[in-house]
Structure 1
Amino acid sequence: MNELQHETSPYLLQHANNPIHWKAWNTASLATAENENKLIIVSIGYSACHWCHVMEHESFEDDAVAQVMNSDFISIKVDREERPDVDAVYMKAVQLMTKQGGWPLNVVCLPDGRPVWGGTYFKKDNWMDILSQLQDMYRSTPERMIDYAGKLHQGIQILGIVEKNPSEEKSNPNNIKPLVEKWSKSFDWEFGGYARAPKFMMPNNYLFLQRYGYQTQSKDLLEFVDLTLTRMAHGGLFDTVDGGFSRYSVDMRWHVPHFEKMLYDNGQLISLYSEAYKRTHNPLYKEVIEKTLTFIERELLNKDNAFFSALDADSINEVGLLEEGAFYVWKKEQLQHLLKNDFDIFTELFNVNDFGFWEHDNYVLIQSRPSEDIASQFGLTENELLEKKKNWEQQLFTEREKRPKPRLDDKSLTSWNAIMLKGYIDAYKALGNEHYLDIAKKNAQFIIDKQWSPEGFLWHSYKNGKSTIIGFLEDYAFVIEAFIALYQATLEETYLHQAKQLTDYCLEHFYDEEKQFFTFTARDGEQLIAPHFETEDNVIPASNSVMANNLYVLSLLFHNGYYEKVALQMLHHMIPNMDYASAYSNWLNLWLNQSEDNKELAICGKKAIENTQRVNSEYMPHVIIAGTSKVSNLPFLENRFDEENLLFYICQNKNCLLPNSSLEDTIAELKID
């Protein structure tokens, strides 16, 4: 056993029995490297990462590799989900050196932590050769490595820092149009998403495109969003048997996933499908929401009302070996045995044919034709086919539960919990299911009770009753966003004041007045070899873009001019950098908030809560909602409560129309036709 046996991260514990003398990332490990003047190997991955497991099996479980690593290096294993700050810094280094990145991420550093070499996955012999060459170089000509490390370090410090925009010109939302037009050239009009593989879902992209398509009344954009959401729901990427999405597909059809299921993907996708359901009332979107939340509650919700992080891509196959996707795939003979006389219909619906074939006689279920066409082919009504489909999925679920399940990453991350929390709130708003709101409130209480310290900071990770690792900007940003959403669902102002309290903490501890952005780690926390400002939206929106959106909403509700100034200043600096819009969709959302469409709505009166639920069920992404069923001191609501009447105030640019008392008239006035 190495030092990782003392850690709680499932990923680190997976390596605790390696012959490598692994250490965890901490000051003692780093000090050992400096004291012994040894190069550091920083190896970064996560528990659901398939190629991380491959490299572990091929190299890190091998005695010959261990001899090389143990004799000349200090080897440090990092869970990227626990330490996104460490991952971000060394990912920048590898991207500068190789023009690409990914996991496992392997970097060799000088004893002071500055990187000199790096890459991703390496085969055993190649890995050993590289390490031997690096050690020889460090022994014979250390000055060459030190010089290179210095130059690389300069690049890392600069990369990702956004230059201030010197222009005083106000950001006109009309300028979004050419960005979207350029963006649309990468759309895949056959299967949705982008015309490339592997294919990531990028939920925030479609939240923005849907909103922009709605506000500009672009039929093409809305059709593209619906095509993408439908194809994702029909592909093997979505687990139609059990609910939940895998992280991405390796092909352009959303067919064969990389089978890990991540909490953050599913939380964001619930929000996306909920918003799309409000717009379309498409029953497929409702099915996706309900199946996924059933999966989340059954597999990823623990007794503390916290959500676990992920299910692994790999599971034990029928011959007792770990295999990617083994839990999810089907052989034709298995399906014939289970479905009997219905097999032919099932085959047409789920493509148990060349279209749905993967490898090794395995099929990944995928739909490619409308259900009404298949029903007609077999002389059924569509409802009869859908009822059969529901029964088939239950049969397959029961059978699949007999298989060994994928490994569980049972740590709970504050940021990811907040993303899932918001997913539950959005599902409640769309479907009105009180059970979803109940889970959301319990998860919010978990964050308040366990992850919010008496000193005012958030913890990042939680496992086995213990909170660890001081929180990063992403933790605050997503909790603030979720608490604002929870307030808008319940009108309980405590959540809004808690969001403001965390915002003020961020401004005090994370905001860089000179750069005019938030650092990823608190100024008074552990400092790495370079600061990190997370500004580009990726599979998860950038923590700075989430903070900017939060600040803007809170500025309106609290009449706080400083919040607005900081948010719009950040946006102003970002706009000149928006060359490819898909990496800035959450910034574009904030930009769109400046359009003439944007409104605020105050719902005040004793029946405010039930009327808020009705408003929340409408697709109105351009409306910021607040309300109260009693006298409120919230600046936006002050002096608006009426003991006798329910009043709706529509506001824009800090000016409000006279209130009206008709819910239907209010919705009609707010809707964009």
Structure 2
Amino acid sequence: MNLLSQETSPYLLQHANNPVHWKAWNVNSLAEAKEKNSLIIISIGYSACHWCHVMEHESFEDQKVAEVMNKSFINIKVDREERPDVDAVYMKAVQLMTRRGGWPLNVVALPDGRPIWGGTYFRKEEWMETLGQLQQVYQSNSEKVIDYAEKLHQGIQSLSIVDNLKSESEFHTTDLSLLVQKWKEDFDLDFGGMSRSPKFMMPNNYHFLMRYAFQKNDMKLFDFVNLTLTRMAYGGIFDTVDGGFSRYSVDNKWHVPHFEKMLYDNGQLVSLYSDAYKLTKNPLYKEVVEKTLSFIERELMSPEAGFYCALDADSLNSENHLEEGAFYVWKIPELKTIIGDDFELFSQVFNINSFGLWEDENYVLIQNKSLKDIAKSNTISEATLQKKKQFWEKILYIKREKRAKPRLDDKCLTSWNAIMLKGFVDAYKALENENYLNLALKNADFILKNLWSSEGNLYHNHKNGKSTINGYLEDYCFVISAFIALYEVTFDEKWLQYAKQLTDYSLEHFYDEKSGFFTFTSNLDEALISSHFETEDNVIPASNSVMGKNLFQLSIYFENSFYEKVSLRMLQNILPTIEYPSAYSNWMDLALHFSEENKELAICGEKALEYASKINALYLPNIVLAGLEKVTKLPFLKDRFVAEQTLFYLCQNKTCAAPSTDFQKIVSNLI
């Protein structure tokens, strides 16, 4: 057993019995490398990563490999979810060296942490041979190795530099239209998403595209977003039996997923499908939201109301061996036994045919036709088929629960919890299910009690009753966003005050005046070999783009011109640099906030929450909502309460129309 046995991360604990002398990333491990002048192996992954498990089994559990690693190297294992700062720096290095990246991420570095070589997955013999060569070169010609490390280090630092264009030029939504037009060239018009595989869901992309289509009345674009959401919901990437989405699809039709289920994906997708339901009233989208939240509450919620990180891609098969997707796939004989006389109809719905076949006679359930069309071709009612489908899913769930479940990563990350919290709030807005709001409030209380210290900083991680790791910008930005969302449905101003406190803390400890952006790590933390400014939106939006949107909203609530100035400055520096729109969708959404179409609505009076529920149930992405049921000192609402009246104040460009008591008139002016 190595030193990882002292850690709490499920990923690190998975490697605690490896013969490799693994250490965690900490001051002592790094100091030992310098003291011994040893090269460092930095191996980064996460608990639900399939290829991380493969490399562990092939190499890190092997005694010969361990002897090579232990003899000459300081071996450090990193959970990328606990240390996204470390992962970001070394991912840049590997991308510079190999033009690609992924996990497992394996890097060899000098004793001071500067990388000299790296890549992703390696087979056993290649891994051993390369390590031997690197150690030999370092011993015989260290000057050459150090020179290469310095050049690579300069390259990493150049990637970290965010140009401050000091631009104060105005931008117009026509600028966005050019970017959207360019983006459309990559659309898959058959299955939705982008024309490539593997396919990641990228929920923030479709959040923006849906909003843009709505505000610009672009029906073709809306049809594409609708196609994408429908195909994802139909696909094997969505677990129709138990709810929840897997991380990505390995093919172009959303069929066969990488089977791990991640909290951050599901939180964002609940928000996306909730918004889509508000706009379309498509019952499929409601079903996706309800099933997913049921899955989250049942499988990923702790007794303390925290949300766990993930379920693994791998689980034990019938031969008691770990196998990717074993928990989720089906074979025809088993399905025939379970479904019985309805098997032929079941096969039409879920494509137990060449379209739904994966490999080794395994089927991943996928739909490609609506229930309405299938019912018509079988001369039965759609309602009857819907009931059958629900019954099939129920009995499949009961049968599947008898299988060995995927392993659970039971740490709670602050940023991911906040993303899921907002998902529950957005679902409450769309479906008005009180349970969703109650769970959101319980999770917010969990964050307040366990992840926000008395010194004012957030922690990043909570496990076994302990909160650890000083928070990153992603923790602050997503908690602020979630607290603003809670305010929108409760009008409890404590959530705005909490959001403001965290924003002011972020400005003090993360904001870099020179660049005009926020660093990923606090200025109270030990510096890594390079600073990291997260500006590109990925499977999770960039922490800087989320902060930009938070600052915009809070600038309105608190009439704070500095917040607005910082937000606008970031946006003005980003927009001229955009080449790949999909990597900046949340920034483009922020640009719509600053457009002429954005409005603010204040609902003031004893029935404020009642009317707020009606507003929140509508798809109005261009509205900043505020309200009160009694006198307040919140700047945006100050002096707007009138006893025994409910008044609506509609504002635009810092100018408010005369208060109105006509709700329907207000709604017509919002849409």
Normalising by structure 2, what TM-score?
1.00
- Separation in 2, partners of 1:321, 1:377: 42
Q: Is the 8 A contact 2:164 2:514 kept in 1?
A: no
| 3-state DSSP of counterpart to 1:195 | coil
Is 1:523 paired with 2:523? yes
| 3-state DSSP of counterpart to 1:301 | coil
Provide the residue aligned with 2:312 in structure 1: 312
User: 1:188-226: CA deviations, max 9, x gaps?
Assistant: 010000010000000000000000000000001110110
Provide the residue aligned with 1:273 in structure 2: 273
Provide the residue aligned with 1:125 in structure 2: 125
Q: 1:225 to 1:390 in 2, by over 3 A?
A: same
Provide the residue aligned with 2:440 in structure 1: 440
Provide the residue aligned with 1:551 in structure 2: 551
Provide the residue aligned with 1:170 in structure 2: 170
Provide the residue aligned with 2:385 in structure 1: 385
| 3-state DSSP of counterpart to 1:462 | strand
Deviation at 1:166, TM superposition (A): 4.2
Show the 5 A alignment for 1:605-620. Answer: 605-620=605-620
Provide the residue aligned with 1:648 in structure 2: 648
Deviation at 1:543, TM superposition (A): 0.3
Deviation at 1:595, TM superposition (A): 1.5
Unaligned runs of 5+ in 2: none
- Separation in 2, partners of 1:126, 1:386: 53
Show the 5 A alignment for 1:232-243. Answer: 232-243=232-243
Normalising by structure 1, what TM-score?
0.99
- Separation in 2, partners of 1:29, 1:55: 23
Is 1:581 paired with 2:606? no
Provide the residue aligned with 1:41 in structure 2: 41
Q: Is the 8 A contact 2:647 2:659 kept in 1?
A: yes
- Separation in 2, partners of 1:368, 1:10: 37
Provide the residue aligned with 1:147 in structure 2: 147
Provide the residue aligned with 1:187 in structure 2: 187
Provide the residue aligned with 1:592 in structure 2: 592
The answer to which of 655-664 and 159-168 deviates more is 159-168
Provide the residue aligned with 2:19 in structure 1: 19
Q: What amino acid is the match of 1:263? A: L
Provide the residue aligned with 1:9 in structure 2: 9
| 3-state DSSP of counterpart to 2:8 | coil
Provide the residue aligned with 1:603 in structure 2: 603
Q: Is the 8 A contact 1:173 1:594 kept in 2?
A: no
| 3-state DSSP of counterpart to 2:635 | coil
- Separation in 2, partners of 1:78, 1:94: 15
Q: Is the 8 A contact 1:234 1:366 kept in 2?
A: yes
Q: Is the 8 A contact 2:602 2:650 kept in 1?
A: yes
Deviation at 1:524, TM superposition (A): 1.6
Show the 5 A alignment for 1:196-345. Answer: 196-345=196-345
Q: What amino acid is the match of 2:365? A: L
- Separation in 2, partners of 1:106, 1:381: 56
| 3-state DSSP of counterpart to 1:74 | strand
- Separation in 2, partners of 1:406, 1:161: 41
| 3-state DSSP of counterpart to 2:230 | helix
- Separation in 2, partners of 1:454, 1:427: 31
Query: How much is the aligned-residue C-alpha RMSD, in angstroms?
Result: 0.6
| 3-state DSSP of counterpart to 1:364 | coil
Aligned length: 671
Q: What amino acid is the match of 1:660? A: S
Deviation at 1:576, TM superposition (A): 1.4
Q: What amino acid is the match of 1:142? A: S
Provide the residue aligned with 2:505 in structure 1: 505
User: 1:448-481: CA deviations, max 9, x gaps?
Assistant: 0100000000000001111011100000000000
Unaligned runs of 5+ in 1: none
Deviation at 1:644, TM superposition (A): 1.5
Provide the residue aligned with 2:67 in structure 1: 67
Show the 5 A alignment for 1:353-364. Answer: 353-364=353-364
Deviation at 1:659, TM superposition (A): 1.0
Deviation at 1:160, TM superposition (A): 3.6
Q: Is the 8 A contact 2:168 2:569 kept in 1?
A: no
Deviation at 1:318, TM superposition (A): 0.6
Is 1:107 paired with 2:107? yes
- Separation in 1, partners of 2:169, 2:244: 45
Q: Is the 8 A contact 1:160 1:535 kept in 2?
A: no
Q: What amino acid is the match of 2:139? A: R
Provide the residue aligned with 2:368 in structure 1: 368
Provide the residue aligned with 2:538 in structure 1: 538
Deviation at 1:373, TM superposition (A): 1.4
- Separation in 1, partners of 2:645, 2:169: 44
User: 1:469-506: CA deviations, max 9, x gaps?
Assistant: 11000000000000000000110000000000000000
Deviation at 1:421, TM superposition (A): 0.1
- Separation in 2, partners of 1:47, 1:195: 29
Q: Is the 8 A contact 2:88 2:532 kept in 1?
A: yes
Provide the residue aligned with 2:462 in structure 1: 462
| 3-state DSSP of counterpart to 1:81 | coil
| 3-state DSSP of counterpart to 1:159 | helix
- Separation in 2, partners of 1:646, 1:174: 38
- Separation in 2, partners of 1:272, 1:166: 34
Deviation at 1:170, TM superposition (A): 1.2
| 3-state DSSP of counterpart to 1:376 | helix
Sequence identity (%): 64
Show the 5 A alignment for 1:470-509. Answer: 470-509=470-509
Q: What amino acid is the match of 2:496? A: L
- Separation in 1, partners of 2:566, 2:253: 41
